[in-house]
Amino acid sequence: MYRLFLFLIILLSFFYNKKLFSVPYYTSYCHYIDSDQKERTVINDFLLSLAIRKQTRALHFRYDKMINTYRLHSDALKYFQLYIECNKKNNIPINGFTYYLKSISHFEVNENEISLKELDKALFLDPRIRNAYLLKSRILIRQQKLIEASDSLESIIPIFSEDSDILFLLGTINAEIGRYHKSILYLSSLLNLISNKGGERRYKIHILKYLGKIYSEIDIDKSLYYYKAYLKIQPKDINTHFTVINLYNNKGDLKSAKAQLNKIEKIEPKSSKIKLIRAEIYYIQKKKNILSYFQKIEKEGLIKKNSLIEGLYLVLQDKYPEAERIILAYRKKYPKKVSPRLAYIEILKKTGKFQGLSVELKDTAELLSLYRQYYMAIELAKELLKLSEKNSDIKIKSSSLYNFTASCYEKLSYPYMALHYIRLAIKASSNNSDRHSYMLHYANILRLPPIKRYDKSNRVIKRILKKDKKNTNSYVLLGLNYMAMEKYNKSIDVFSKAIAYNDMVSNFYFYRANAFEKLGNIENTIRDLKKAVELDSQNADAHNYLGYLYTEKGIDLQEAFNLIKVAVELEPDNGAFQDSMGWIYYKMGKIEEAKHHINLALQLMMEKKEEDPVIYEHLGDIFYKMNDTINANENWKKSLEINKDISEKRRIKLKLQNLSQK
């Protein structure tokens, strides 16, 4: 698209871009040799018009082999240079847009380095030439300088925070260089912009697919969400349907995988690939008529030699030695795939290799837990317990399996089942170290809603500390309980004990800083946060907390900015950090930048289906600063509506009252 319509952009920009005429208009006379080798005297703008005319013609006929576009661009560059030299000779200022236009022709004749220099001149004179940044990033991408391209575009995001082209380019570049959190941030921002009818809708389908691909590496559930949204728009994209099925299979969600298969069958009812995937799903589900289904697809010639399906079929036929060779190869090649693991478990059972079976059951249960398939994980853990009870040769810690099962129930939001199994773990533990670890887990479960028995949790922790006074994790959990109970002095005491036993853990200071701030002890809050940052340069929470505190108290705004910047770079998709960045910009008087980051914070919170009254209040403050009283009023009211803090509600009410009196 850029190549096809660049000449139109140039013409429109030349005649309508106000920046082109942001310097006073000067006329001077210039000399040049025309095509007939005659010297001519013309006004300076005549040379500029010749340059633009040659350039526009070259761009228009780019794909016409009969036209020598290289020659046209060379002529354009000659006239641009004559125009610039003439103006310099007569002390006439040159507009940045002229250098931008000149850079285009350098780019078209593959003079990338010269083009970059001209672009730098253009942006020095006028940092708001949007297309200059886009061209610069394009050259840097061509040179494989992706980080530089990203940095260049990021520098103008506060100015062009709702520019679809820039947001999409930033999202795709950052995905390419593995900065997935940044990529997600920019692509999600654009998607949100499109949803609010402010962005280019043509990007939506690409964003959804991109986000599906990016999240497939870090969060399968979110990957599925975006792929499914994409398929609503492109329901006939068979390859993406299969990608979704593979994701469901990998996480063990067979019901959803089957539903997706049914959708594809309506599009391609005779697809052999569908039948093979269905066979794999039937195997995992242990369907009653599974053998007859495999026999059917074998007759159709669909089971290929040495394929995973052949391996599963051999297991069903009790041909374990032949099956083991194939299944092991797939298990090694795809260690995170469920079906080869389940097949291997079956082989080990039937061949009596119980030592190997115990290892495979444990590893597969842990993998399923990572996939959030907690029911299947619990089933395998229980199977391993039974195996160990029947085979004295298998040495496993039953207490460890009970603890694992408790964790699974905890993640399924069944805290009472979790309590049952963690008690079994404590009872089965054979040494103090394990027992104390399980008791600490028990104490943590007691904190969960709807239980919230902080008093009982504290009693359990204190029992641990009677036997193990140096158990720093116990002090931390006890301190967090006291924080939840609003007993801040007690929390400081126990956090201090944790620090006394180990003064090199960043989070111990971070937690204590929270308690100090609750008591209004800002001096000690700052001291502890500084120590937390010093001990761990990757502690994003500590950097953000200290930076935000500096911002609120008006202490060294530049240092506050530096601290918050570190936090945002570590976790760009953290809404609280983006809010802090917006707020420091607000305090520094950079309102455009402030609005951009606060909007990002709001978007990130909304994606997580969360609400933060602070973000709405900050956004209201920004709109008020911009004299947009309608939006200021709307955001302050929203903040007031969801705020639970009485003193904060009082402050926001005062803002609304003052606004109503204006």
Give me the numbers of helices (H) and strands (E) for the chain, helices first please.
35, 2
What is the rounded CA–CA span in Å between residue 282 and residue 317?
Answer: 15
Amino acid at 502: N
Give Cα 107 to chain centroid, integer Å. 33
How many independent structural domains does the chain possess? 1
Residue 60 resides in a domain: yes
- Give CA separation, 581 vs 332, 576, 600, in Å: 45, 9, 10
What is the rounded CA–CA span in Å between residue 491 and residue 527?
Answer: 17
CB 540 within 8 A of CB 566: yes
For the chain, how are helix, strand and coil distributed in percent, rounded to 5?
Answer: 75, 0, 25
Residue 122 resides in a domain: yes
Q: Which two tokens stand for residue 116?
A: 């970059």
CB 360 within 8 A of CB 348: yes
CA dihedral of residues 230, 231, 235, 241 (deg, nearest 10): 130
- Tell me, letter by letter, the H, E, C secondary structure of 330-372: HHHHCCCCHHHHHHHHHHHHHCCCHHHHHHHHHHHHHHHHHCC
Sorted by sequence, the CB contacts under 8 Å of residue 442 that are 6+ apart come out as 419, 422, 423, 426, 460
Residue 480 resides in a domain: no
**Alpha-carbon torsion (225, 227, 229, 231), positive or negative:** negative
Residue 604 resides in a domain: no
Cis before 450 (ω within 30): yes
pLDDT at 25: 53
The CATH number of whichever domain residue 67 belongs to comes to 1.25.40.10
Range of the domain at 130: 1-144
* Residue among 427, 343, 414 at smallest CA distance from 374: 414
Residue 126 resides in a domain: yes
Give the single-character DSSP code of 645. Answer: -
Residue 392 resides in a domain: no
- All residue ranges of the chain with pLDDT < 50 are 1-23
CB 532 within 8 A of CB 513: yes
CB 284 within 8 A of CB 256: no
Region of 29 (left: φ > 0; alpha: ψ -120 to 50; beta: rest) is beta
CB 174 within 8 A of CB 149: no
* Residue among 440, 434, 444, 360 at smallest CA distance from 400: 434
Residue 612 resides in a domain: no
CB 103 within 8 A of CB 140: no
CB 550 within 8 A of CB 560: yes
* Residue among 347, 350, 378, 353 at smallest CA distance from 364: 378
Residue 38 resides in a domain: yes
Residue with tokens 């006239």: 79
pLDDT at 636: 96
Q: Which two tokens stand for residue 25?
A: 């208009």
pLDDT at 16: 36
